[in-house]
Amino acid sequence: MESNQNPQNYSEDSIRTLDWKEHIRKRPGMYIGKLGDGSYPDDGIYVLLKEVMDNAIDEYMMGFGKKIEVKVENGVVSVRDYGRGIPLGKVIDVASKMNTGAKYDSKVFKKSVGLNGVGIKAVNALSEKFTIQAFRDGQSKRVEFERGELVDEKEMEATDEKNGTFVSFIPDTTVFENYNFQEEYIETLLKNYTFLNAGLSINFNGKVFYSRHGLLDLLNENMTSPGLYPIIHLKKEDLEIAITHGNQYGEEYYTFVNGQHTTQGGTHLVAFREAIVKTIRDFYNKNFDVSDIRQGIIAAISIKIEEPVFESQTKTKLGSKDIGPGGPSVRNFVMDFLKEELDNYLHKNQETAEILYKKILESEKERKAISGIQKLAKERAKKVSLHNKKLRDCRIHYTSKDERKLESSIFITEGDSASGSITKARDVNTQAVFSLKGKPLNSYGLTRKVVYENEEFNLLQAALNIEDGLETLRYNHVIIATDADVDGMHIRLLLLTFFLQFFPELVKNGHLYILQTPLFRVRNKKETIYCYSDEERLAAIAKLGKNPEITRFKGLGEISPGEFKNFIGKDIRLEQVRLRKDDAVKDLLDFYMGKNTPNRQNFIIDNLVIEEDIVE
């Protein structure tokens, strides 16, 4: 018997074509990555700002306009550049017609950083209000949109304003729920623009950012301790590199393509890592191990490429093999430059060459001391069935090409009850859980040997897949999730010490976070309020009125999986662990984790806060 009945009636009427703004609003992740609420530097609201900034930077790169003014006030973002200004007859098209822009003509924008006719439309479609105004040769044109719909078009009028473009937007709260701009993230973004465009001035809410020495200034801004030798700064057209080594583990890179911060590296970083090894081997005429040369390296690489190809719309990893049509490969371009310029520099600066040589020998000595242990540790990690016993993995990883890879997280927690609650409440697609067994070792002052000798550290390193650097990191967010009591705080401090000692690049690249969980639950028969501070508790009591039930959570294990879903879902509260130029890591760890007990005791006594007992 033949049956043609189908509850899903699939016909011509089922096929529809979305217009440009509908497509962006329905699939925003395709255009700006993850959405978020501003808690992370890679959240969508910062991508919107970046897309507008990229267009302003393109004007500067073409030699027009030496300053950009940026304001963020009450959720309204505005950017004013002093470039040539959009041709007045094309202002509407530039803001609302896909695949419309000047960047397709490489004669006008040879090495653009923008999204080639897409970026500004994405900002328009994802904004409650979007205004764009062009100033050009004494004339002005202004248009206004709401969620991509044109709502007002002004006639062209005379103006005394200097040439350029003004854009303002308010991110759409139906897309970016409860968003909040973090000034620190914006400042980092804008400073990077100045480092990559020496001579450009950016005024942000009254603060002026300016760089005279480019990537040399960038390294000085980001290094938390002096380099072992003065920063080597090398430049040519379309390529700039700054290099030093520090007394730290791991490799620390800041890479850029046409002004885009490629946080996941790509072909230009692969080329640099290969070129630095070959150049140094040739200079010293010694076949040093790769890891010994790159151990402790701190470097910034900026390359300009015609029509770059990235592995995703958000452009965090370069995929281009060549620097442009008919040009050399990225690999050969970087290799030839370093072979000549770095070799010349080391010949002319013998003191730096001697310091670098000693650093490599020290790394070699330590590596050989742990090589046997390292091999055994890797075998041990496989035997204990890491993925079954210690790690409850997720399906999507940071190294994948999945659209949601930026959401990938791992919670590091302690104890069966806490890890059990998180495991049951998590999103199995993007959230993994690593369970510690008791308190980790205090690793301060120890060498890398302890990472392999200590089972917990060895398995944690294997779970994160960071032994050979961040390029293979499996989770974008590494989240320390411990109880909010004395023991929990101690475990948190021990883990921070471990990461700062052996994997500082994980922290500097913004991957390490602390999970904030509620201290109190205040509820009556009608409403439940979770409170993260004593101030929030008092406000909840005032709101709910007479005699609400108050529960003080003493540990993560006391929070049921059903409740935990509220705290690790879309309303998750995370505090990013940040390192600034003023944070001297060695001094911090020495004070908190070293043997200066009397000084630390006095600090605790002077800063002790006694919490009032809460009646449950």
Residue-wise pLDDT for 237-263, tens only, equals 999 999 999 988 889 999 999 888 888
Domain boundary among 170, 188, 210: 210
pLDDT recorded at residue 611: 45
Other C-beta atoms lying within 10 Å of the C-beta of residue 205 = 12
For the ranges 66-70, 398-402, 407-411, the lowest mean pLDDT is seen at: 398-402
Residue pair 515/486 in contact by the 8 Å Cβ criterion: no
> Taking residues 528-540, what's their average pLDDT?
92
pLDDT value for 163: 96
The neighbour count for residue 514, using CB atoms within 10 Å, is 17
| Residue range 350-369: mean pLDDT, rounded | 95
Give the span between the Cα atoms of 545 and 207, in whole angstroms. 45
Q: Domain holding 248: CATH number? A: 3.30.230.10
Asked, for residue 531, whether it belongs to a domain, the answer is no
Mean pLDDT computed over 79-86: 94
In DSSP terms, which residues pair with 253 in a beta bridge?
Answer: 299
All residues at 6 or more sequence positions from 412 whose CB lies less than 8 Å from its CB, including other chains: 434, 436, 460, 478, 479, 480, 481, 495
DSSP class of residue 198? Answer: T
Q: Distance from CA of residue 20 to its chain's centroid?
A: 29
β-bridge partners, 266: 318
Domain carrying residue 425: 384-517+553-606
> What does DSSP say about strands 520-523 and 127-136: parallel, antiparallel, or unpaired?
unpaired
For residue 280, pLDDT beyond 50: yes
Q: Is the pLDDT score of 610 beyond 50?
A: no
Unique residue bearing structure tokens 């976070």: 513
pLDDT-derived band at 588, boundaries 50, 70, 90: low
Do 435 and 560 fall into the same domain?
yes
Task: Write down which residue in 368, 394, 411 finishes a domain.
Answer: 368
For the beta sheet containing 573-576, the strands, ordered from the edge strand earlier in sequence to the opposite edge, are 391-392, 431-436, 409-414, 477-480, 512-516, 573-576
Q: How high is the pLDDT of residue 317?
A: 83
Length of the chain: 616
Q: Average pLDDT, stretch 319-335? A: 88
Instruction: Let me know whether 407 and 499 are in one domain.
Output: yes
In a shared domain, residues 322 and 434: no
CB distance 128 to 167 below 8 Å: no
The contacts found for 378-382 with CB under 8 angstroms, 24 or more apart, are 378/462, 380/455, 380/458, 381/458, 381/459, 381/462
Question: Picking from 54-58, 310-314, 448-452, 592-596, which range would have the lowest pLDDT averaged per residue?
Answer: 592-596
How far apart CA 262 and CA 278 sit, in angstroms, is 24
Binning the chain into helix, strand and coil, the percentages to the nearest 5 are: 40, 20, 40
Whole-number pLDDT of residue 120? 87
Residue 98 is predicted with a pLDDT of 64
Is residue 325 included in any domain, yes or no? yes
| 122, 49 contact by CB (below 8 A) | no
Model confidence at 608: pLDDT above 70: no
Please give the average per-residue pLDDT across 42-58, as a whole number. 90
- The reported pLDDT for the residue numbered 46 is 93
Per-residue pLDDT, 411? 96
Q: What digits encode the pLDDT tens for the residues 285-308?
A: 999 999 999 999 999 999 998 888
270 and 132 part of one domain: no
Residue 4 has pLDDT above 60, yes or no: no
In the structure, what pLDDT confidence band is assigned to residue 476 with cuts at 50, 70 and 90? very high
CATH classification of the domain holding 422: 3.40.50.670
Question: Using CA atoms, how far apart are residues 573 and 538, in angstroms rounded to an integer?
Answer: 20
CA dist., res. 465 & res. 459, Å (int): 10
The pLDDT assigned to 108 comes to 44
| Phi, psi values for residue 188, rounded to 5° | -60, -45
Domain final residue pick, 160, 180, 210 = 210
Co-location of 313 and 225 in the same domain:
yes
CB 430 within 8 A of CB 394: yes
614 pLDDT more than 50: no
User: Would you state the pLDDT for residue 14?
Assistant: 46
In a domain, 612, yes or no: no
| Residue 288 resides in a domain | yes
- Confidence grade of residue 178 (pLDDT, cut at 50, 70, 90): confident
Residue 335 shares a structural domain with residue 431: no
DSSP string, 329-388: BHHHHHHHHHHHHHHHHHHH-HHHHHHHHHHHHHHHHHHHHHHHHHHHHHHHHHHTTHHH
- Give the pLDDT score at 308: 84
pLDDT of residue 448: 87
How far apart are alpha carbons 594 and 591 in whole angstroms?
Answer: 6
CA distance 206 to 71: 8
Position 21 scores a pLDDT of 76
Structure tokens at 593: 């984790």
CA dist., res. 268 & res. 256, Å (int): 9
- Note the pLDDT of residue 85: 92
Q: How far apart are CA 125 and CA 142, in angstroms?
A: 17
- What value does the mean pLDDT of the chain take? 85
Question: Predicted confidence band at 111 (pLDDT cuts at 50, 70, 90)?
Answer: low
Kindly report, residue by residue over 442-463, the tens digit of the pLDDT: 888 888 888 888 888 989 998 9
Q: Is residue 37 located within the same domain as residue 133?
A: yes
In the structure, what pLDDT confidence band is assigned to residue 594 with cuts at 50, 70 and 90?
A: low
Examine the domain organization and report whether 92 and 154 are in the same domain.
yes
Any domain includes 505: yes
Region of residue 78 (left: phi > 0; alpha: psi -120 to 50; beta: else): beta
pTM of the model: 0.81
- Count: domains in the chain: 3
Q: Do 400 and 352 fall within a single domain?
A: no
Helix axes 350-383, 330-348, angle to 10 degrees: 130
Does residue 17 register a pLDDT over 70?
Answer: no
561, pLDDT greater than 60: yes
Residue 525 within a domain? no
Confidence of residue 106 (pLDDT cuts 50, 70, 90): very low
* Residue 42 vs residue 368, higher pLDDT: 368
What's the CATH number where 91 sits? 3.30.565.10
pLDDT at 613: 44
Same domain? For 395 and 497 the reply is yes
- Find the mean pLDDT for residues 600-612: 51
Name which residue leads in pLDDT, 205 or 613.
Answer: 205
pLDDT tier at 383, thresholds 50, 70, 90? low
Has residue 613 been placed in a domain?
no
Q: Are residues 361 and 394 in the same domain?
A: no
Residues 183 and 219 in one domain: no
Token couple for 515: 């999970």
The proportion of the chain whose per-residue pLDDT surpasses 90, expressed as a percent, equals 48
The pairing of strands 239-245 and 232-236 is antiparallel
Ramachandran bin of 326, using left for φ above 0, alpha for ψ from -120 to 50, beta for the remaining angles: left
